[in-house]
Amino acid sequence: MARINTNVSSVIARNNLARTGSDLDLRLERLSTGLRINRGKDDPAGVIISERIATDLSGINAAISNTERASSVISTTEASLNEISALLNDIKGLLVESANTGANSKDERDANQLQIDSAIESITRIANSATFGGLPLLDGSLDFVTSGIANSAISTSQIFSASFVGAETLSVDVDVIASAQKASLFLNGNSGIASAGVIASSFTLAVKGVNGTAEISFISGQSLSQVIAAINSQSPSTGVTASLIDPADSGVGLVLRSDGYGSDAFVSVDRTDAAAGNTEPQFYKLSGGVDTPAIDATWSWANGDLSSVSNSGRSNGRDVSALINGNLATGDGLEISINSPSLSLQLNLTEDFGTDPTATNSVFSITGGGSLFQIGPEINAQQQTSIGIQSMISSRLGGTDIDGTVQFLSSLAKGQDNSIETSSRRKDYSDAQKILDVAIDEVAVLRGRLGAFERNVLNTSQRNLQSSFENLTASRSRIRDADFAVETSELTRAQILQSSGTSVLQLANQSAQSVLQLLG
């Protein structure tokens, strides 16, 4: 057919040439940007998922930066703790040297006291000056804040971590369910070895405790009170203390108790001069883990129930058992601790509270504080972690119960209760050593906790985040980035089609001129 008003061939060629041009533009755009998806119409589903991945990548990248910064905070804190630890070790050496009063003069001890005072001041100065970008680290600013702790129940507390999800405060309920006990051995005041509280024949005992062993000899005619005095004179060497079962009746019997509570505390008594088969004197221990001692001022050997005791030369104490917010805590003497994702703490119970399962629960609140680290891409409790860093100043370090009063490292300074001068006058440096050992342990434990936190929480989280960042980046690249091999091939194809399409359009436009031949 020969028509000139409508050139269908030209229309077809023009439409195909337009499509080819659009395809050519698309290839050029992808090759120039390096992206397969430059706008929503390129791949609607791909745009949605790639943008979600981009959001994830942004959060993960920030979380990686957070964990790196947190590691820097921990490293800075530990560096300061290392210096404090070195100063405490110096104090330990000076204290031990000063205890050698038979070989050094008062002037030398005074010089040692000056060094101890200087070290204590340096510890406080380090604690107050340790900062990270203006953030105080060891002055107690990063410790958890508590409210309502009853001193009659809890002597000292350390909050390591706490989660405040869904609440502004965290309540802590402590319920003692089984008492802490000292190791105890009992001697009948009217046994074969004694009569009416008087020793009937001579014997020698090896009394053992956590501090060591002492051999003590007794002769016939000595009273139980004299036996008790002899055993107590060796208490610093053994860690064992003796007393009458009934203070009002010296003939009832005596009890040997460990100085401390817990399963590590023990009392052991052996007769070292007995002939074969001689089992006297016989000591007894409680059987069945009775909370209230069956042998006390109201107990009678003559009428008492001996089923509650058993013959033994050794007795161990018992750790306190307690529930913290309904969870069974780990007991160690009078100390309890718990470690869970929502709460991690350590409490030292008072003697009255830790030995009385019938006592009313002790309840206090954690109202804030701590150092919170955001180590995940989402802001929620599962991707946050916190740690408490207690104050390291000398007046808060080394808290130890000394004769019913909690004393700290600052008490070793000149003029204080446990200074070298005071200890020399008493000829007893043991209290100062106890405080110092507790301070050394507190610093070491904190360094260990910070190290474990950095290694097992921060570093593992950082490696996991880096792996996620790598994999998500690769996934987004597969969705959004252009494949240059494919795009160059398609570009070549589009260029060829555009060239051929232009030629075809030219031919289609020229085909209408053939009608002129019909006009002659």
> Rounded to an integer, what distance in angstroms lies between the CA atom of residue 201 and that of residue 204?
10
Nearest to 494 by CA among 3, 19, 161: 19
> Rounded to an integer, what distance in angstroms lies between the CA atom of residue 185 and that of residue 489?
94
User: In the prediction, which pLDDT does 274 show?
Assistant: 67
> Rounded to an integer, what distance in angstroms lies between the CA atom of residue 183 and that of residue 325?
29
> Contact 315/285 with Cβ under 8 angstroms?
yes
Phi, psi at residue 386, to the nearest 5°?
Answer: -135, 155
Q: Which two tokens stand for residue 338?
A: 């718990």
Phi, psi at residue 327, to the nearest 5°?
Answer: -100, 140
Name beta bridge partners: 481.
35
First to last CA, the chain: 18
CA torsion sign for 419, 425, 431, 437 is: positive
> Contact 283/186 with Cβ under 8 angstroms?
yes
> Rounded to an integer, what distance in angstroms lies between the CA atom of residue 141 and that of residue 40?
50
Nearest to 79 by CA among 5, 31, 138: 138
Give the Å distances, CA to CA, from 22 to 28, 98, 292, 481, 491. Answer: 10, 93, 93, 20, 11
User: In the prediction, which pLDDT does 18 show?
Assistant: 87
Residue reference for tokens 């229309």:
11
> Rounded to an integer, what distance in angstroms lies between the CA atom of residue 216 and that of residue 350?
33
> Contact 362/141 with Cβ under 8 angstroms?
no
> Contact 47/37 with Cβ under 8 angstroms?
yes
User: In the prediction, which pLDDT does 465 show?
Assistant: 94
CA torsion sign for 161, 166, 168, 171 is: negative
User: In the prediction, which pLDDT does 104 show?
Assistant: 84
User: What dihedral do alpha carbons 196, 201, 202, 206 form, nearest 10°?
Assistant: -60
Nearest to 268 by CA among 214, 204, 238, 313: 313
Tally of CB atoms within 10 A around 518: 7
Burial class (CB in 10 A: 0-12, 13-18, 19+), 92: middle
Q: In sequence order, which residues have a C-beta less than 8 Å from that of residue 428 and are 6 or more positions away?
A: none
> Contact 400/407 with Cβ under 8 angstroms?
yes
Query: Can you give the pLDDT of all 520 residues of the chain as single tens digits?
Result: 567 777 788 888 888 888 888 888 888 888 888 888 888 888 889 889 988 999 999 999 999 999 999 999 999 999 999 999 999 999 999 999 988 888 888 889 889 999 999 999 999 999 999 999 999 999 989 999 999 999 899 988 889 888 887 778 899 999 999 999 998 888 888 777 777 788 888 888 899 999 999 999 998 889 888 999 999 999 989 999 998 887 777 777 888 999 989 999 999 998 888 665 566 787 877 654 444 444 555 555 554 555 556 667 788 899 999 999 999 999 999 999 998 878 889 999 999 999 899 999 999 999 988 888 999 998 887 888 888 899 999 999 998 878 778 889 999 998 888 888 887 777 778 889 999 999 999 999 899 989 999 999 999 999 999 999 999 999 999 988 888 888 888 888 888 888 888 888 888 887 777 777 777 6
Q: Which two tokens stand for residue 196?
A: 């009416």
User: In the prediction, which pLDDT does 278 show?
Assistant: 63
Give the Å distances, CA to CA, from 174 to 63, 102, 149, 251. Answer: 36, 48, 11, 41
User: In the prediction, which pLDDT does 308 show?
Assistant: 58
> Rounded to an integer, what distance in angstroms lies between the CA atom of residue 40 and that of residue 29?
14
Q: Which two tokens stand for residue 272?
A: 């070292």
User: In the prediction, which pLDDT does 162 show?
Assistant: 87
User: In the prediction, which pLDDT does 291 show?
Assistant: 45
Name beta bridge partners: 182.
261
Q: Where are the domains of the chain?
A: 8-34+482-519, 35-139+374-481, 182-316
Alpha helices in 239-281 (DSSP H): none
Q: Between 3.40.50.2000, 3.40.50.150, 1.20.1330.10, 1.50.10.10, what CATH number should domain 35-139+374-481 receive? A: 1.20.1330.10
Under DSSP, the state recorded for 223 is B
Q: In sequence order, which residues have a C-beta less than 8 Å from that of residue 71 and are 6 or more positions away?
A: 454, 458, 459, 462
User: In the prediction, which pLDDT does 138 show?
Assistant: 93
Asked if the 182-316 domain carries CATH number 3.30.70, the reply is yes
Name beta bridge partners: 206.
215, 270
Give the Å distances, CA to CA, from 14 to 3, 20, 28, 514. Answer: 18, 10, 21, 20
Burial class (CB in 10 A: 0-12, 13-18, 19+), 103: exposed
Segment (H or E) for 162? strand 154-162
Nearest to 46 by CA among 487, 476, 471, 472: 476
